[in-house]
């Protein structure tokens, strides 16, 4: 668990831990339950592309925070509202990128459990990370953040 700043979104678990924890649970469930393998081998290159795009999106989102001089960690204090770069199209490019990497791994592995873990990760991040961040950002940045939310979607 991260050390949480008092003036932050109060996110208790790092989003990468949530996303890749869900992936691990999916892989483990697949192995324990003996789920059938996805037999569409053409999904492997799709997984590679999806994972590579995810890394690029995640990296671009991270660079946006670094350039703005604010913390990318949701358990630390926000100093700037980042609305440029990929943040013009999605309010959460880092989380979108993480989930795309997770999906890419699941598709490349042709693993049913890993694939089923993707919506679980989206749900957990949406409810336990993004919801907290949005409340905090509204309180911190007020109408500027509300206007941004009116213009830009949460995920895509």
Give the pLDDT confidence of 83-94 residue by residue, as tens digits.
999 999 999 999
Residue 63 sits at φ, ψ, to 5 deg, of -60, -40
Average pLDDT value for residue range 30-49: 96
Is residue 5 pLDDT above 70, yes or no?
no
* Chain centroid offset of residue 17 CA: 10
Is residue 3 pLDDT above 70, yes or no?
no
Nearest residue to 75 via CA among 139, 15, 124: 15
**What's the confidence (pLDDT) of residue 39?**
93
- 103 band by pLDDT with thresholds 50, 70 and 90: very high
Is residue 68 pLDDT above 80, yes or no?
yes
Nearest residue to 96 via CA among 53, 65, 138, 133: 53
Q: Distance between CA 133 and CA 106 in Å, rounded?
A: 28
């Amino acid at each position: 668990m991260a050390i949480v700043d008092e003036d932050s979104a109060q996110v208790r678990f790092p989003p990468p831990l949530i996303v890749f924890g869900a992936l691990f649970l999916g892989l483990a469930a697949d192995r324990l339950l003996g789920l059938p393998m996805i037999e569409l081998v053409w999904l492997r290159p799709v997984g590679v592309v999806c994972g590579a795009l995810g890394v690029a999106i995640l990296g671009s989102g991270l660079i946006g925070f670094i350039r703005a001089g604010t913390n990318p960690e949701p358990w630390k204090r926000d100093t700037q509202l980042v609305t440029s770069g990929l943040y013009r199209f999605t309010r959460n490019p880092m989380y979108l990128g993480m989930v795309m990497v997770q999906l890419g791994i699941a598709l490349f592995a042709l693993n049913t459990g890993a694939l089923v873990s993707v919506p679980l990760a989206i749900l957990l991040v949406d409810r336990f990370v993004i919801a907290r961040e949005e409340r905090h950002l509204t309180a911190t940045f007020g109408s500027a953040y509300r206007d941004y939310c009116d213009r830009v979607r949460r995920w895509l």
